[in-house]
Amino acid sequence: MTDKNVLGGPLLACSYAPLTGFFRDGCCRTGAADLGTHVVCAKVTAAFLDFSRDRGNDLVTPRPEYRFAGLAPGDRWCLCATRWLEALEAGVAPPVVLESTHARVLDFVELDVLKRHAYAPA
């Protein structure tokens, strides 16, 4: 079965550089081992990266032992559904790339909320 995005279409890749996804395949797919449900493709912002670091998940500092170069504002990254919701409640939710966000996120948040926070390229 093909993974679907929140709009009902095929799930598109979120990012290959940096390489993201729970399975590190560029897509925000999930499975039984993914306890964080990494299904939200977001274009991260400085405010979100600060928020995440303050919550104990430093996404900025490089971790070469995990082949992780660290994120910068503007990078796309697969976020945990609950972390995105926490950021939303704090007013720092990064924009969501709908075509690359897995439909599983709809178990956590309604589509109209995601659409209000959709990334719109200039």
pLDDT tens, 53-87? 999 999 999 998 888 899 999 999 999 999 999 99
Enter the tokens of residue 42. Answer: 């977001």
Question: How far apart are the C-alpha atoms of 2 and 120, rounded to whole Å?
Answer: 25
The predicted structure's pLDDT at residue 122: 62
How far lies 14's CA from each of 54, 56, 101, in Å?
24, 23, 8
pLDDT average, residue stretch 87-112: 97
DSSP assignment string, 44-70: --HHHHHHHHHTT---SS-BGGGTB--
User: What size, in residues, is the chain?
Assistant: 122
State pTM to two decimals: 0.94
What 3-state DSSP class applies to 113?
A: helix
The predicted pLDDT at position 103 comes to 97
1/22 Cα distance (integer angstroms): 18
Tell me, rounded to whole angstroms, the distance of Cα 27 from its chain centroid: 10
Structure confidence at residue 19 (pLDDT): 93
Residues 13-66 have pLDDT tens digits of: 999 999 999 999 999 999 999 999 999 999 999 999 999 999 999 999 999 888
pLDDT band at residue 1 under the 50/70/90 scheme: low
